[in-house]
Structure 1
Amino acid sequence: MTTAVVTTEAPTERAVAPPARPARRGRPPRAHRPVGGAGASVLLWGYAALALVPLLLMLSNSFRSNADLITDPLGLPAPPTTASYVEAWTTGNVATYFGNSLAVTVGAVAISTTVATMAAYALARGRSRIFRWLESLFLSGLMLPIHLAILPIFYLFDGLGLIDSRLGLMLMYAASGIPFSIFVLTTFFRQLPEELEEAAALDGASSWQTFWRIMVPLVRPALATVAVFRFVPIWNDFLFPLVLLRREEKYTLPVGLTNFFGENATNYSAVFAGLVITTIPLIVLFLVATKQIVAGLTAGMAK
Structure 2
Amino acid sequence: MTNLTLGRTDRYRPRKKRHFKVHPLIWIAMWGYAAISAVPLLIMFLNSFRSSAELIANPWPFTTSPTIENYVNAWTQASFATYVGNSVIVTVGAVVLSTAVSLPAAYALSRWQFVGNRLLQALFISGLMVPMMLAILPIFYLMDSLNLIDSPLSLILIYGANGVPFSIFVLSAFFRQLPVELEEAASIDGSGYFRTFLQVMLPLVWPAVATVAVFRFVPIWNEFLMPLVLLRSRENYTISVGLTTFFSEYETDRASLFAGLVIATIPLLILFILATKQIVQGLTAGLGK
Q: TM-score, normalised by structure 1?
A: 0.83
Selected match of 1:42 from 28, 53, 58: 28
For residues 137 and 242 of structure 1, the distance between their equivalents in structure 2, rounded to whole angstroms, comes to 29
- Bigger Rg over Cα: 1
Q: What residue identity is the alignment partner of 2:25? A: G
SS in 2 for 1:173: helix
Aligned pairs (5 A) from 1:44-193: 44-78=30-64, 80-193=66-179
Shift of 1:71: 4.7
**Greater helix share, structure number:** 2
Contact 1:120 1:182 in 2 (8 A): yes
SS in 2 for 1:101: helix
Aligned to 2:21: 33
Could you tell me the percent identity over the aligned residues? 60
Aligned to 2:274: 288
Contact 1:64 1:78 in 2 (8 A): no
Contact 1:62 1:270 in 2 (8 A): yes
Q: What residue identity is the alignment partner of 1:267? A: D
Q: Deviation per CA, 1:10-68, whole angstroms, max 9, x where unpaired?
A: xxxxxxxxxxxxxxxxxxxx98432xx33333222222111111111211222334454
Alignment CA distance shift 1:196-1:31 (3 Å): closer
Shift of 1:151: 0.9
SS in 1 for 2:94: helix
Alignment CA distance shift 1:290-1:263 (3 Å): farther
Aligned to 1:3: none
For residues 47 and 112 of structure 1, the distance between their equivalents in structure 2, rounded to whole angstroms, comes to 33
The number of residues matched between the two structures is 272
Aligned to 1:203: 189
For residues 223 and 264 of structure 1, the distance between their equivalents in structure 2, rounded to whole angstroms, comes to 46
| Structure 1: gaps of 5 or more residues | 1-29
Shift of 1:135: 1.4
Aligned to 1:256: 242
Q: TM-score, normalised by structure 2?
A: 0.87
Shift of 1:264: 9.6
CA RMSD of aligned residues (A): 2.1
Shift of 1:246: 1.2
Aligned to 2:224: 238
Q: Does 1:214 align with 2:192?
A: no
SS in 2 for 1:301: coil
For residues 196 and 221 of structure 1, the distance between their equivalents in structure 2, rounded to whole angstroms, comes to 18
Q: Does 1:273 align with 2:270?
A: no
SS in 2 for 1:295: helix
For residues 112 and 286 of structure 2, the distance between their equivalents in structure 1, rounded to whole angstroms, comes to 21
Q: Deviation per CA, 1:150-183, whole angstroms, max 9, x where unpaired?
A: 1111111112211111101110100011001000
